[in-house]
A and B are shown apart, each in its own frame.
Chain A
Amino acid sequence: MKKSTLLIALFLLALSGLMLHLRIHNFMIADKLHPDTFLFDRTRFLATLFPLVDVMLVTALFMSRKTAVYGYLLNGLIVIYGTIFMAHFSISEMIAKSIPLSSMLLKSTLPDIGIAWGDFFIGKALYDLYMKGTS
C-alpha cells in the first residue's frame, strides 16, 4: 500500500474528528442568562485542541520517515486521552440524564472511541510501512 493513501486516511479521520467536535459541542457556548454573549468552555476547548494537534502536528510528523516515530507516539497519546475523556463524558452524561445502562452501547461515545482507535491503527500501519516496508 502506498504511504500517501494511509496519510490521506489519517488526515481525513483527524479532520473529521475536529469538525465533529466543533459541531457537536463548540467551545464557545451561549450564556443562559444573556444569550447574546458567549462563554469560553475549557473542557470543550480541550476536545477541539486534541483533534487540532492531530490534524496539524501528527499529519506533519507522519510526512517524513525521520519524524514518523514521534507522530506515532503523539497519535497514540491523543487516542488514549480521547478514549479516557470520551468515556468520562459518556458516563457523566448517563448519570446526569439517568440514561439506562442498556443504552450504553449505542447512545454512548463508544462508537466514537472505536473511530479514534481506527485512526490509531491507520497510524500504526503507516509507521510500520515507513520502518519495515510492510503494513
Chain B
Amino acid sequence: MYLAIFSGGNMLKYFMRYKPGWWILHVVVIGLTFYLGHMVNFNF
C-alpha cells in the first residue's frame, strides 16, 4: 500500500482511494494552518 505511491502506474489508484473532497479539504486545511501560524502574534 505504501509502496504504491512510488510505482508510477498506481499513483492515480492511490489518489482515487479517497474522494476529491477529502484531498481538497486536507490541502485547504494544511494551507490554512500555515497561514494562521504565520499571522498569529501574541503580545504580552
Which A residues lie at the B interface, using CB under 8 A?
41-43, 46, 73, 77, 81, 84-85, 88-89, 92-93, 96-97
B42, A92: Cβ atoms closer than 8 Å: yes
10 examples of A-B residue contacts, CB within 8 angstroms: A41-B43, A42-B41, A43-B39, A43-B41, A46-B39, A46-B40, A81-B36, A85-B36, A88-B42, A89-B42
Contact of A92 among B29, B33, B44 (CB under 8 A): B44
Residues of A within 8 A of B42 (CB): 43, 88-89, 92-93, 96
Residues of B within 8 A of A85 (CB): 36, 40
A sample of 19 more A-B contacts (CB under 8 A), given A43-B40, A46-B40, A88-B40, is: A41-B43, A42-B39, A42-B41, A43-B39, A43-B41, A43-B42, A46-B36, A46-B39, A73-B25, A77-B29, A81-B33, A81-B36, A84-B33, A88-B42, A89-B42, A93-B42, A93-B44, A96-B42, A96-B44
Interface contacts (Cβ under 8 Å), in number, total: 27
Interface size on B, as a range, is 10 to 19
Among B33, B39, B40, max chain A CB count under 10 A is at: B40
Q: Report the separation of the CA atoms of residues A42 and B29 in the bound assembly, to the nearest whole angstrom.
A: 19
The A contact surface, by secondary structure, is: helix
Chain B positions 17-44 with a Cβ under 8 Å from a chain A Cβ: 25, 29, 33, 36, 39-44
Contact of A97 among B29, B33, B40, B44 (CB under 8 A): B44
